[in-house]
Amino acid sequence: MNNIHAIILAAGKGTRMNSSKPKVLQTLSDNTLLGHVLVQAKAISQKVHVVYGFGGDQVQQTINDDSINWVEQVEQLGTGHAVAQAMPHIEDDSISLVLYGDVPLIQPQTLGQLINAAEDSGIALLSVILNNPTGYGRIVRHNNIIQAIVEQKDANAEQLEICEANTGIMAVNTQLLKKYLAALNSDNAQGELYLTDIIESAVNDKKIVESIITTDEFEVAGVNDKVQLAELERVFQKNQAVSFMQQGLTLKDPARFDCRGTLNFDQDCEIDINVVIEGDVSLGNNTTIAANCNIKNTKIGNNVVIFPNSVIEDALIGNGASIGPFARIRPEANIGENAKIGNFVEVKKSTIGKGSKVSHLSYVGDTTIGSEVNIGAGVITCNYDGVNKHQTTIEDGAFVGSDTQLIAPVTIGKNATIGAGSTITKDVPDNQLSLSRSKQTTLKNWQRPTKK
């Protein structure tokens, strides 16, 4: 059967989050909890239904996905009641896959096994063996055959000793599911309609309830507070780091590395500690990123060195370039081949040509710099007049002396030299020295003040 409908339960408020956002909108890495579940659900199902409640408008606006069937649960009367809200939208001849919007690390291969089991038997659940299953419903078996799921508050002393716990995730033939949901009652400690009670109904109906037992407790872990959210963040990052290292990336300490986006890399790349990757980042061959760097939506070429404490966003870094330490490369910066951006340099919406150097304490904005240009320490392109931004052009081979202000719009010609300490307001011709400097004066009889 290929007609799979995913039902994601996402109606909870998440009071323990102490947040104005619904629980499913809390973020793990670069995505919401619900967003992570949606990725896995879409990978394996033909249609996704999200059952929402608290903050429903906020949830729908944040996810902003027209392919989802949004189903409102006006009253929160239990998991069985929540699933029942989606049933009118699902054909009998299908498999309903029940997921949870606060269980973000579930894997599609596990769900695939669960669906296959349900196609054979009509009903299958996902369980996990826990050393401490407190709070979870217990899987009750007889001769290794599942008989029921007993919730923690309804379990007797013998049942509380069971270590096989229910994850809540299950796959059920939709026609059977509709039948069993209609028979649910709220005769339990919570006074709710438990989805788990359909297991007993299936057993009474002489159905064999299949199970898939996951060996990864974090894959099925839910998030109820910020502590658990942080725990799963580290698991998520560790899993990514392991995958990257298996593909050949060198991580100096995988426990101190975060990828909150997509990272692609070629051979022999190395990343030091406390590096944060965001958005879509790619690295060429033999590229090194030193400690404490933040890189977002950037393409980095071969043989590049990013020195410590640099921030790079929405930029292109050419082969052989070096950046930092303590550099900030802002959006729309294009750093050319073998160019150097040194310490405490900020580059914004500018092109730095091949072999050019901006080595220290400079700001380059709205500028086109040619090849083999040298920008001295403390140079500023004054691109903003308080209302509009203006362009600076520095042509090939130019030398701009330290502590120079280039008042845009202005063009510095080929192989021109700007004397240190100048304020340049007019275009500078090729191959000439230009400077603006007041006459130096020495007062022969001057004395330093003394402390009174």
390 is catalytic: no
3-state secondary structure (DSSP) of residue 348: strand
Q: Which of 160, 112, 100, 113 is nearest to 133 (CA)?
A: 160
Active-site residue, from 5, 81, 360, 390: 360
Q: What end-to-end distance do the CA atoms of the chain give, in Å?
A: 95
Instruction: Please answer whether residues 315 and 335 qualify as being in contact, where contact means their C-beta atoms are separated by less than 8 angstroms.
Output: yes
Q: How far is CA 422 from CA 99, 128, 149, 342, in A?
A: 66, 71, 80, 21
Distance in angstroms (rounded) separating the CA atoms of residues 382 and 380: 6
Distance in angstroms (rounded) separating the CA atoms of residues 407 and 430: 18
Let me know how long the chain is: 452
Q: What is the CA radius of gyration of the chain?
A: 31
Instruction: Please answer whether residues 312 and 306 qualify as being in contact, where contact means their C-beta atoms are separated by less than 8 angstroms.
Output: yes
Estimate the crossing angle of helix 33-44 against helix 56-63, to 10 degrees.
60
Residue 242 pairs in a beta bridge with none
Q: Which CB contacts under 8 angstroms, 24+ apart, belong to 397-401?
A: 397/370, 397/371, 397/372, 397/373, 398/370, 398/373, 398/374, 399/373, 399/374, 400/373, 400/374, 400/375, 400/376, 401/376, 401/435
Residues classed as catalytic: 360
